[in-house]
Amino acid sequence: MTRTRVGLVVGLVLLGVALAVVLPNLRAGQTAPTKRTIYMAAVEPKGGASVTSEAFPTAPLPEGPGYVLKAPDPAGRWEVSAYQWQPGFILANQGEDVTLEIIGINGAEHPSSIEGLGVPPFTVRRGQVTTVNFRANRPGFYRIICHTHQPTMVGYLVVLPRR
């Protein structure tokens, strides 16, 4: 299964879970919140091994600086990492005012954007919190992209339709 299909399947599962949580509350006469703060992080999960216990991979990783494979050092230790947004999927309701507070943990900077919502571009920097404010006007799936660390640093904003 391709990465795009996996992302779509995961997105649909998250949408189903969100609908199961949000819709009963709306039917019970409660209103959805009008403001939402979502906390995210720019991270670089890493793993590694020694060539004495695990061979260095010979197959190349996909192109792009989102993946990092470091060859064995003089002691034989090698590492692999990938830049990502955590969480990778976030959820909002149509009409909500959303604040993203994104902390930069790994990577010096992440010039980023959210496709399709008219949110101005922003840059997340290590050791700083970047605040992004917008109104979730239209339901749908929107990519949150770090333009430096492709293809791995893509998250998704799911905006649920108003009921």
Q: Are residues 117 and 76 in the same domain?
A: no
User: For residues 1 and 7, what is the distance between their CA atoms, to the nearest angstrom?
Assistant: 10
Which has the closest alpha carbon to 156: 1, 13, 23? 13
Q: Are residues 145 and 69 in the same domain?
A: no
User: For residues 22 and 16, what is the distance between their CA atoms, to the nearest angstrom?
Assistant: 10
Structural domain boundaries, residue 76:
46-81
Q: Are residues 74 and 30 in the same domain?
A: no
pLDDT band at 64 (very low <50, low <70, confident <90, very high): very high
Domain's final residue, options 24, 59, 81: 81
Q: Are residues 40 and 62 in the same domain?
A: no
The rounded percent of the chain whose pLDDT value lies above 70 is: 80
